[in-house]
Amino acid sequence: MKLTTAGESHGKALIAVIEELPAHLQINAAEINGALALRQSGYGRGARQKIEKDEAEILTGVRNGETLGSPVTLCIYNKDYQNWEAAMSAGACDSETMQKKALTKVRPGHADLTGMLKFGQEDARNILERASARETAIRVAAGEVYRQYLLALGVEIGGYVREVCGIKDEGEYAFEDLAKAKTTGVGMLNVEAEKKAEEKIAALKKAGDTAGGVVEIRVKGLKSGFGNVMTYAEKLDSLLAAGLMSIQAVKGVEIGAGFAVAERSGKEIHDEIFYNDEKGFYRNTNRAGGIEGGMSNGEEIVIRVAMKPIPTLMKGLQTVEFSSKETAVAASERSDVCAIFAFEIIAEAVVAQVLADAVAKRLGGDTMEQVQKRYADLP
Ligand SMILES: Cc1cc2nc3c(=O)[nH]c(=O)nc-3n(C[C@H](O)[C@H](O)[C@H](O)COP(=O)(O)O)c2cc1C
């Protein structure tokens, strides 16, 4: 299921085109907008979220609440475009406004400098407009469509925030507990850790500094055999890692015990296999995080993803002005201090995309009824 996204951060709109969805998938537009509202919330977000109130419009591929089997196009209009039309228009822009909006004190940790050199630009705006995490709004909208496809098969995705700048929530949570994280400020489940994380973000904001963190994403109900051991490019763990690494600011992905596998012995890490008539094959532990040999093994999928601190600092880092080559303080546009709550929503959306694609690859199907029957027939 190919997904293409397009759109600049302050351009007219963001667009997603999803190809190869089967016909008769019920689309709940209110839930798409619910996910978009969650992406805009959380403690530590910047002023942009006050300007935008994201709502996705379904432009193609859905009729009477159901997919037709044709490409589904989603669109989110940028409300901020009204303030940027003179500088961002596809036609001739007003050069004075363009000058005012130009960014040349390139920001460390951003795509600014490398993008300018690569694309022959003298204004980092021509790079940052696409590099911006605003693009994740449309990925969340598309992700909700994929989630609805997976839910029709009984596959659920949840998650929470495990760490913010060194403050950790190290609880062990049942899948059913995860939804509570969406009702908190930072996205943690442990009340004390949540409070400390909010205090940390407030202190960083005061100091002109920023934070990143770690989220845990879990998938319940995916049967075994998705992904493919036979072809390296179709291994489910590699596809999940690639999808999650494509989100702005992601610097690490762990499946199951992740980096801890290196600290422990084989006996301590591998999940022993049992069988009884009632359960069939089963395991009592899930250190593999639900994936063995690049395929889902029927256990919960457990993924942890690390986000670096937001690179735009209100008390800017040292840099160089692009044209004069003089030392400068990096530009600071209005910016988030910590976007970990939003990031968790985005990571769920990307996991939904990767898994829906893996399901479609294995099961095919022109209609949702065919997909559901093929899924039900699997062991
Ligand atoms: C949800 C989310 C919100 C973000 N908000 C900001 C922001 O307000 N300011 C900023 O400088 N970077 C922000 N970022 C991070 C940058 O987009 C990202 O670090 C930058 O594009 C460079 O990409 P890289 O970190 O993947 O190398 C955000 C990232 C995410 C996922």
**CATH of residue 205:** 3.60.150.10
How far, in Å, is the centroid of ligand 1 from the Cα of 199? 22
Give yes or no for residue 312 CB within 6 A of ligand 1: yes
Token pair for 167: 């403050």
Give yes or no for residue 335 CB within 6 A of ligand 1: yes
Residue 357 has pLDDT above 80, yes or no: yes
Residue 145 has pLDDT above 80, yes or no: yes
φ and ψ of 60, to 5 deg:
-145, 160
CA-334 nearest atom, ligand 1: 8
User: Taking a C-beta distance cutoff of 8 angstroms, is the pair 215, 162 a contact?
Assistant: yes
CA distance 133 to 152: 29
Mean pLDDT to the nearest integer, 154-173: 97
How far, in Å, is the centroid of ligand 1 from the Cα of 37? 18
pLDDT, residue 182, reads 96
User: Taking a C-beta distance cutoff of 8 angstroms, is the pair 6, 15 a contact?
Assistant: yes
Task: Say which residue the tokens 């002005």 belong to.
Answer: 321
Band (pLDDT 50/70/90 cuts) for residue 315 is: confident
Q: Which residue owns the Cα nearest ligand 1 atom 4? A: 133
Token pair for 8: 């600049």
Residues with Cβ within 8 Å of residue 322, at least 6 apart in sequence? 104, 105, 106, 113, 116, 122, 124
Q: Which helix (H) or strand (E) holds 194?
A: helix 191-206
Q: Which helix (H) or strand (E) holds 354?
A: helix 340-363
Token pair for 97: 């406004």
How far, in Å, is the centroid of ligand 1 from the Cα of 212? 10
Token pair for 357: 């694609």
Residue 49 has pLDDT above 90, yes or no: no
How far, in Å, is the centroid of ligand 1 from the Cα of 86? 25
pLDDT tens-digit series, residues 235-265: 999 999 999 999 999 999 999 999 999 999 9
* pTM as predicted: 0.96
Q: Is 359 exposed, middle or buried (0-12, 13-18, 19+ CB in 10 A)?
A: buried
Cα–Cα distances (Å) from 55 to 171, 190, 271, 295, 330, in that order, read 34, 31, 44, 35, 33
Residue 48 has pLDDT above 70, yes or no: no
Percent of residues, the chain, with pLDDT higher than 90: 94
Q: How many domains does the chain have?
A: 1
How far, in Å, is the centroid of ligand 1 from the Cα of 283? 39
Q: Which residue owns the Cα nearest ligand 1 atom 22? A: 110
Crossing angle of the two packed helices 29-39 and 340-363, in degrees rounded to 10: 140
Q: Which residue owns the Cα nearest ligand 1 atom 30? A: 133
Band (pLDDT 50/70/90 cuts) for residue 44 is: confident
Range of the domain at 368: 3-377
> Which one, of 289, 296, 258, 255, lies nearest residue 271 by Cα?
289
> Which one, of 206, 211, 183, 249, lies nearest residue 42 by Cα?
183
- 339-352 burial, b for 16+ CB within 10 Å, e for fewer? bbbbbbbbbbbbbb
Q: Which amino acid is at 221?
A: G
Q: Average pLDDT, whole number, for the chain? A: 96
Q: Which residue owns the Cα nearest ligand 1 atom 19? A: 249
